[in-house]
Amino acid sequence: MAGLHRLLALLALALGTVAVSVAEEKAKDADLRRLPCPDPHDISPCVCTADEQHNMDIDCSQVESEDQLARVFSSTIPFPHFHALYIDGNQRLKVLRRGDLGPASFELIHITGGVLEEVQEEALSQSYPTLSHIYIQENNVSRFPFAELPLFTSLVFLQMHTNSLESFPGLDSDTLQQVVLSDNPFGEIPLDGFQRVKNLYSISVSANDVEILLPGKVDVSHNDLA
Ligand SMILES: *[C@@H]1O[C@H](CO)[C@@H](O)[C@H](O)[C@H]1NC(C)=O
């Protein structure tokens, strides 16, 4: 009988140990998921998530103002390099101001379906070397720092369709491969519009009010460069 009791006690001890170590593993996993992200309270209403490789995304779709966005990115951000910034369907943010993203850099910026009118000069300057994809479609953007494009040394994709660009932007980039500018109100494309984007292989400019198609090396009418 004593033997059976001892056996049960050992069994209970073993099970207890297993239960504890599972809980510890879970806590460790949660730590890992949180670890590169800033304290959630500091960045609220933005939400940071990290994958197993510690790539962080931050979703600021719920920000209520430019000032609030600036406060989020002026909080303590231990690891300021993010994979992506998402601000989707936001009906408050009109200007992405210089400095509002603090020290944060991104590979992908996704500000879509909102009321954004302006991206200020140098607003994305922390991401000059890192940004590969810009998605700022379906807003009301009339001002964007296109003159800085050559400084974005990893940029391959620029999507700005359905905005309020009134003139065809100066496109100067060694890296840019695809540009989507459909559904903007610009009325003409300059003859040299594509001369300084030598790696561009696709441009979409459909559904603009382009009345004058100036002859150039690119046939914009079928929207795809060979
Ligand atoms: C778009 O932005 C302009 C300013 O650039 C503003 O006057 C206009 O009201 C905006 N349109 C909408 C639909 O928000």
Q: Which atom of ligand 1 is nearest to the CA of 118?
A: 5
Closest residue by Cα to residue 189 from 206, 202, 176: 206
Can you tell me the distance from the alpha carbon of 119 to that of 113, in angstroms, rounded to the nearest whole number?
15
90 CA distance to ligand 1 centroid (A)? 15
Contact 58, 43 (CB under 8 A): yes
Closest C-alpha to 37, from 2, 81, 95, 93: 81
pTM: 0.79
Enter the tokens of residue 139: 């807003």
Determine the Cα–Cα distance for residues 200 and 193; give it in Å rounded to an integer. 12
Place of tokens 């090396």: 217
Question: 142 C-alpha to center of ligand 1: Å?
Answer: 9
CA of 117 to the centre of ligand 1 (A): 7
Identify the pLDDT of residue 226: 37
Q: Which atom in ligand 1 lies closest to the alpha carbon of residue 143?
A: 5
* Residue 116 confidence (pLDDT) above 70: yes
What is the 101 CA–ligand 1 centroid distance (Å)? 23
Q: Which CATH superfamily is domain 35-214 in?
A: Ribonuclease Inhibitor (3.80.10.10)
The mean predicted confidence, pLDDT, of the chain is 84
Pocket of ligand 1 (CB under 6 A): 115, 117, 140, 142, 164
Find all residues with CB under 8 Å of 132, minimum gap 6, and list them. 107, 108, 154, 155, 156, 157
Question: Quick one: pLDDT at residue 205?
Answer: 82
Q: What is the pLDDT of residue 212?
A: 46
CA-proximal residue: ligand 1, atom 13 (nearest)? 140
Tens of pLDDT, residue by residue over 27-83, are 555 554 477 999 999 999 999 999 988 899 999 999 999 999 999 999 999 999 999
